[in-house]
Amino acid sequence: MPRPDLVVLVGLGQVAPRTLVEAGAALREVLGIPSRAGPGLDRPKYAYNESRGQYHATSILRRLSSLRNGYHGAPIVGIADVDLFLPDAPYVIGDADRDAGASLFSLFRLSHGDPDQVRHRAQVEAVHAVGHLLGLSHCPDARCAMFLSRDAADSDRKGPGLCASCAAAVGLAPSTRP
């Protein structure tokens, strides 16, 4: 995906509007991409798997990607308050579909802690989600936003910035280092 002019942030469930603003601030600061809040959506009941008690991330991504037309094709990032899964994993923090122009992350496993920690986690994971849409893969540098978060401790360790290698891969100066 070429560098977008705008990213649309969509809250799913009880995600505070302030979370969208803070996530957007990180996107602007780290990636130089402005954002705007899209429509707040209800919890994605269509994606709920009763036997797992979780929500299927891929189903949510499909629905989010359908919103792109209303925003001139801008990529969509969903921020959810539900526990996400993929069939081969017990849970995931997020998922992305670069071809569909949509990514998703959940605060379900990241929302404990003081408000500053939760804000940091949302910002880090927003940069991570858009990084995937820009073509970045997971990074081995535990301080880079593109490091795979398996839990809140991983998100806490990361900075919202990118390591020099990831920054260069998306055409940014290495000053975005965490």
Confidence band for 174, pLDDT divided at 50, 70 and 90: low
pLDDT at 34 > cutoff 90: yes
The better pLDDT of the pair 175, 20 is held by: 20
Whether residue 163 is contained in a domain is answered as no
C-alpha to C-alpha distance for 111 and 131, rounded to whole angstroms:
22
pLDDT at 57 > cutoff 50: yes
C-alpha to C-alpha distance for 139 and 92, rounded to whole angstroms:
17
Whether residue 24 is contained in a domain is answered as yes
Whether residue 165 is contained in a domain is answered as no
Whether residue 57 is contained in a domain is answered as yes
The per-residue pLDDT for 173 is 79
Whether residue 84 is contained in a domain is answered as yes
Q: Which CATH number covers residue 43?
A: 3.40.390.10
Whether residue 88 is contained in a domain is answered as yes
Whether residue 145 is contained in a domain is answered as no
pLDDT at 77 > cutoff 50: yes
Q: Which of 94, 83, 91, 92 is nearest to 124 (CA)?
A: 94
**Contact of 31 with 98, CB cutoff 8 Å:** no
Structural domain range at position 64: 7-138
Confidence band for 176, pLDDT divided at 50, 70 and 90: very low
Confidence band for 177, pLDDT divided at 50, 70 and 90: very low
The per-residue pLDDT for 178 is 46
Regarding pTM above 0.75, the answer is yes
Domain count, the chain: 1
The per-residue pLDDT for 1 is 64
The per-residue pLDDT for 2 is 79
Q: Which residues contact 101 (CB under 8 A, 6 or more apart)?
A: 1, 65, 68, 73, 74, 75, 76, 133
**Contact of 72 with 36, CB cutoff 8 Å:** no
What are the pLDDT digits (tens) for 82-129?
Answer: 999 999 999 999 999 999 999 999 999 999 999 999 999 999 999 999
As a whole number, mean pLDDT of residues 145-149 equals 96
The better pLDDT of the pair 175, 136 is held by: 136
- Averaged pLDDT score across all residues of the chain: 94
